[in-house]
Amino acid sequence: MKQILQDMANGGTTLAEAPAPQCSSGTILIHTSTSLISAGTERMLVGFGKASYFEKARQQPEKVKMVLEKVATDGLMTTIEAVRSKLAQPLPLGYCNVGVVSEVGAAVNGFKVGERVVSNGPHADVVKVPKNLCALIPESVDDESAAFVVVASIGLQGIRLAQPTLGEAFVVTGAGLIGLLTVQLLRAQGCRVLAIDFDEAKLTLARQFGAQTCNPSAGEDPLAAAMAFSRGSGVDGVIITASTESSDPVTQGARMCRKRGRIVLVGVTGLELNRADFYEKELSFQVSCSYGPGRYDPAYEEKGQDYPLGFVRWTEKRNFEAVLDMMASGQLDVKPLITHRFAFEDAPKAYEALTADKAGLGMLLQYTTPGELRMVRSVALKSGSSFSSQRPVMGFIGAGNYASRMLIPAFKAAGAQFHTIVTAGGINGVIHGEKAGFAEASTDIDALLADTSINTVAIVTRHDTHARFVAQALKAGKHVFVEKPLAIDSDSLDTVRQAYDAAQASVALGGPQVMVGFNRRFSPQVQKMKALLVPVKEPKSFIMTMNAGAIPANHWTQDIAVGGGRIIGEACHFIDLMRFLADSPIVSVQARRMGDSPGMVITEDKVSITLGFEDGSFGTILYLANGAASFPKERVEVFAAGRVLQLDNFRKLKGYGWPGFSKMNLWKQDKGQNACAAAFLQAVQAGTPAIPHDEIFEVARVTIEVANLLRQQ
């Protein structure tokens, strides 16, 4: 398949070839026929990509603050690398998609293969979309009209928040694509509408749709026009669909309104408000969120959990359906809004027109590639690749943020032979596979595991899939590197253990190995700490503090069934690190979480874990999400034989009382990712594990035990 990508570093727009996504439970696979370029949103993204670093920073001051905080804790070079890496990741464009259902996943009802649907899928000739983000298209609505459904739903959600009634007077500020759709929707509600814009051509369309108009660029006064339009009473409401840095649209909206009028911001404006404008009239002001209830809610969008109709009448999907019904009845006419048509293959030309022609409104992409040519599951990223079977030949499963920013570059630096990268959606594999030098990108995990030329697999997917993929890879005779955790519950850990034990009969490269990405034990400063501690024969005391920071309760890592929770997903790093430095088996486990408080939802991210070791050592891990971002994120302290070691954020190591050692500071943070990858590759080739397998399973067992103790409190 092909998909449009936007380079956020330089603003370039490309049409990338990628493997088709695999349909999964709760999703629908769609062959696109038409998609709409959202003129406002996508023009803004292209402009942002072309802007300088300084201009990018100026447009996102909240991100600048985050960057400065990261500099303070992680160092300048680490922060620069993170920012560059983020900007180097191309962004898929588009969210107004129309096509034909080609496959229906499990747990999906109401859709059949061959039916036409509208969705918020990107500009790609094959899209995979959750069931709650699709709607069936009535027979009387053509594909070109249906492509406007999602942007119309954005306007519709703003209208629902404004709650217009029959006969009310409304102003629409900004007669762009969403503004003109909003005009029609308000007119269909029986409202009188005044449209304000600086572009006379757009106002001509607004008048065609039944609105009165005001053009400030022609010397017309918006306040005077609104007062005349409202017959001297002030308008009932204002819906702002403009995109500008100025706060004028909100200020004008307040001054246009009658007492207790309503203002809804659908677009993007400045928000320097004058309290007096709102106070005296008791105005209401609300920002509209995209296309309706359910937006950005993982339970609704990803898991398919619909809101009960009796309690939430209009969700984003039901807004799609409402717009389609209005199109079918003829109350919403989008044909006059179509200004450009391009073949999908000419997408770069479409984006040139988007930036060159500010008057462009409905810009459609048309897809004609035969279906069978879209469904290729693997694409070559480079030709002529050859691999030595005497060294690890790697397949990667997953290419998310951590894999692309840290793990793949670490393995590349270690000299890995990259064969195939598999991702669920396909496009991420192409983006990061091309950059790293993979030979192929695919969406077919079974094909990767069956490929005998691949002898080593890295698994960097969501936590609930780790155990299953590790077991499958071991059964296929592959060496396995899995990003933590190894498993999220005891049953899945047992499955991995059984697969590992059964796989030891293999003799390829010394027999299948399993390694978890416990990179911290390989960091240079931890290696120095280990060297200093080895001669110390008496028990040691450890204090490890992880200033983890808060993560929203609806983030997938907080979901016990998917991410396993933050103790299993993150604190395992420190359990392994303490096990490594103690160099003794764990014999006792205690854990306590912070007591409940009003409104407390998350219970596993503010905890104390105490481990006892066979040699008499003990240590406490403080995993805390309630600290300040300016405090070091990770601190390790070791007390032994009248001496102390203190490591802050893997940048500054201090020794107190150690003969011949006082400090070891680094210019940039080094958590050991590169050394970890190199150690694994060397271990595979040598046939000797970089981390003893018994320790890997011990740490996994203890981590799960800790989580279970916390959940019983």
Measured CA to CA, the distance from residue 200 to residue 387 in angstroms comes to 63
Give every residue of the chain whose pLDDT is below 70, as ranges: 8-11, 46-89, 505-510, 599-601
The count of C-alpha atoms lying within 13 angstroms of the C-alpha of 622, restricted to the half-sphere facing its C-beta, is 13
Look at residues 441, 434, 370, 440 and name the one whose alpha carbon lies nearest to residue 14: 434
Per-residue 3-state assignment (H helix, E strand, C coil) for 513-556: CEEECCHHHHCHHHHHHHHHHCCCCCCCEEEEEEECCCCCCCCH
User: For residue 281, what pLDDT is reported?
Assistant: 95
Per residue in 183-222, pLDDT (tens digit) is 999 999 999 999 999 999 999 999 999 999 999 999 999 9
Which residues of the chain form CATH 3.90.180.10?
A: 2-146+334-372
- Decide yes or no: CATH 3.90.180.10 for domain 2-146+334-372: yes
Q: Which residues contact 290 (CB under 8 A, 6 or more apart)?
A: 154, 157, 296, 316
- CA dihedral (73, 78, 83, 85) positive or negative: negative
447 DSSP 8-state letter: H
Contact between 549 and 542 under an 8 Å Cβ cutoff? The reply is: no
Do the Cβ atoms of 513 and 691 come closer than 8 Å?
A: no
Q: Give the span between the Cα atoms of 624 and 505, in whole angstroms.
A: 43
CATH of domain 378-516: 3.40.50.720
Would you say 51 and 368 are in contact if contact means Cβ atoms under 8 Å apart?
no
State residue 357's pLDDT score. 77
Which residue, among 546, 545, 535, 544, has the nearest Cα to 643 in the 3D structure? Answer: 535
Give me the pLDDT at residue 50, please.
63
User: Side chain identity at 710, as an amino acid letter?
Assistant: L
pLDDT of residue 389: 85
| CA–CA gap between residue 624 and residue 594 (Å, rounded) | 9
- CA-to-CA separations, 622 to 212, 540, 608, in angstroms, rounded: 64, 17, 5
Quick one: residue 312, left, alpha or beta (phi over 0 = left, psi -120 to 50 = alpha)? beta
- Closest Cα to residue 120, out of 96, 92, 149? 96
Q: Spell out the residues 6+ positions from residue 664 whose beta carbon is closer than 8 angstroms to its own.
A: 524, 525, 528, 653
DSSP letters of 242-275?
Answer: -B-S-SHHHHHHHHHEEEEEEEEE-SB------H
Angle at 362 between CA 140 and CA 211, to 5 degrees: 85
Q: Of all residues in the chain, what percent are helix, strand and coil, respectively (each to 5)?
A: 40, 25, 40
Are 332 and 178 in contact, with CB atoms under 8 Å apart?
Answer: no
DSSP 293: T
| Residue 554, pLDDT score | 84
* pLDDT for res 358: 76
> How many Å apart are CA 683 and CA 689, to the nearest integer?
5
DSSP assigned state of 205: H
Strand-pair category, 27-37 with 126-130? antiparallel
List every span in the chain annotated with CATH 3.30.360.10. 519-681+689-711
Task: Give CA–CA dist 515/455, Å, rounded.
Answer: 14
Which region, left, alpha or beta, applies to residue 531 given φ > 0 means left and ψ of -120 to 50 means alpha? alpha
DSSP 25-93: TTEEEEEEEEEEE-HHHHHHHHHHHHS-HHHHHHH-HHHHHHHHHHHHHH-HHHHHHHHHHHHTS-EE-
Report the distance separating Cα 336 and Cα 529, nearest Å: 71
Q: What are phi and psi of 523, to 5 degrees?
A: -65, 150
Q: Are 425 and 21 in contact (CB under 8 A)?
A: yes
Centre a 10 Å sphere on the Cβ of residue 713 and count the other Cβ atoms it contains: 11
Please say whether the beta carbons of 669 and 75 come within 8 A.
yes
Residue 586 amino acid letter: I
Q: What is the DSSP letter of 561?
A: T
Token pair, residue 537, equals 């024969």
CA–CA separation, 692 and 695 (whole Å) = 5
Cα 555 from chain centre: 10
The SS3 call for residue 564 is: coil
Burial of 11 (0-12, 13-18, 19+ CB in 10 A): middle
pTM of the model: 0.86
Rounded Cα distance between 46 and 352, Å, is: 10
> What does the alpha-carbon distance between residue 254 and residue 58 come to, in Å, rounded to a whole number?
28
The reply to whether omega before 485 is within 30° of 0 (cis) is yes
What does the pLDDT read at residue 643? 97
Rounded distance, CA 498 to CA 140, Å? 57
Q: Tell me which residue of 102, 145, 142, 149 sits closest to 124, measured CA to CA.
A: 102
In CATH, the architecture of 151-287 is 3-Layer(aba) Sandwich (3.40)
Give me the architecture of the 519-681+689-711 domain, per CATH.
2-Layer Sandwich (3.30)
Q: CATH 3.40.50.720 occupies which residues in the chain? A: 151-287, 378-516
User: Which neighbouring-strand residues pair with 235?
Assistant: 257
**Phi, psi at residue 34, to the nearest 5°?**
-150, 145
Cα(178)–Cα(208) distance, rounded to whole angstroms? Answer: 16
Q: CB count, 10 Å around CB of 382?
A: 12
What is the pLDDT at residue 543?
Answer: 98
Angstrom CA distances, 453 to 280, 302, 444, stand at 75, 35, 16
Strand 169-173 versus strand 235-240 pairing type: parallel
Contact 394, 478 (CB under 8 A): no
Residue 128 token pair: 């995979």
At 102-139, the pLDDT tens digits run 999 999 999 999 999 999 999 999 999 999 999 999 99
Q: pLDDT tens across 598-645, in order?
A: 766 677 899 999 999 999 999 999 999 999 988 889 999 999 999 999
Residue with tokens 């004008």: 252
Q: Report helix, strand or coil for 150.
A: helix
DSSP output for 118-139: EE---SBSEEEEEGGGEEEPPT
For residues 419 and 455, give the distance between their C-alpha atoms in angstroms, rounded to a whole number: 10
Structure tokens given for 597: 């408080």
List own/partner pairs for 305-311 with CB under 8 A and 24 or more apart. Answer: 306/132
Task: Report CA torsion sign: 225, 226, 228, 232.
Answer: negative
- Name the β-bridge partners of 441: 379, 421
DSSP track, 3-28: EEEE-TTT--EEEEE-PPPPP-TTEE
Cα–Cα distance measured from residue 55 to residue 44, given in angstroms and rounded to the nearest whole number: 13
